[in-house]
Amino acid sequence: MDIPYTVAARPDTGLNNGKIAIWLFLASEVMLFGALFASYVMLRVGAPEWPAGATYLNVPLATLNTVVLISSSVTMVLAWASLVKRNFSRFRLFLGITILCGLVFLVIKYFEYSAKFHHGYLPATNTFLAIYFTLTGLHGLHVIGGMAVNSWLWGPGSAMWRTDPAHFTNRVENAGLFWHLVDLVWIFLFPVLYLL
């Protein structure tokens, strides 16, 4: 039995099911990170003193990571656009670059975390580091999740392109929406944690 409205838009909403589902999921993600940002504000305004992010964190590395993640967002758009233009090889190239950018982001994050641990800066050290590790750790898990989905779409999942290209294009678009949210969250994490 075929699942309806995977490609065609529902007559009542004008959207296919996947698009509605991914936006509802993204809304829940906004609330998840929103709760943590609110916790950050609460902890910061309640603290007698708050360290400047640069005291503990590496601003140049974080700036580089921002550029890497922004670049991965644009290659994700280019991957989806390649599918719309029926160019599968370019899709694989751009999605491959997106996955690679995610990997570079995580490697840079690994070096950042290693340096902190080396200096004895742990989540238990102080409130600032506790919220830093919580927010960036959760964000890192989202990067890993996005990479897993993108890797599946790049590899075994791409077999659908031959049988149902429109459905596959929608899947890539929805994976892209998640990936852009990951970028969006980092756009706020970067100044809030590193620069303020």
73 binds another protein (CB under 8 A): yes
85: how many CB neighbours lie within 10 A of its CB? 10
Shortest spacing between CB 6 and another protein, in angstroms: 17
Helical H segments across 85-164, by residue range: 88-118, 127-154, 160-163
Taking the least distance from each CB to another protein, the nearer of 9 and 156 is 9
Joined tokens for residue 61: 């590395």
Joined tokens for residue 34: 């929103």
166 binds another protein (CB under 8 A): no
Contact with another protein (CB under 8 A): which of 15, 107, 148, 159? 15
Taking the least distance from each CB to another protein, the nearer of 155 and 191 is 191
Shortest spacing between CB 129 and another protein, in angstroms: 20
42 binds another protein (CB under 8 A): yes
Cβ burial of 94 (10 Å; 0-12, 13-18, 19+) is buried
3-state helix, strand, coil in the chain (%, to 5): 80, 0, 20
87 binds another protein (CB under 8 A): no
Taking the least distance from each CB to another protein, the nearer of 159 and 196 is 196
- Closest Cα to residue 180, out of 36, 29, 60, 35? 29
Contact with another protein (CB under 8 A): which of 78, 97, 100, 138? 78
Instruction: Give me the residue label for tokens 């898990």.
Output: 141
C-alpha dihedral, 97 to 102 to 107 to 113, nearest 10°: 160
Size of the site for another protein (CB under 8 A): 47
Rounded CA-CA distance 182/179 in Å is 5
Taking the least distance from each CB to another protein, the nearer of 1 and 45 is 45
Binding residues vs another protein (CB under 8 A): 13-15, 19-20, 23-24, 27, 30-31, 34-35, 37-39, 41-42, 45-46, 54, 59, 63, 66-67, 70-71, 73-74, 76-78, 81, 84-85, 176-177, 180-181, 183-184, 187-188, 190-192, 195-196
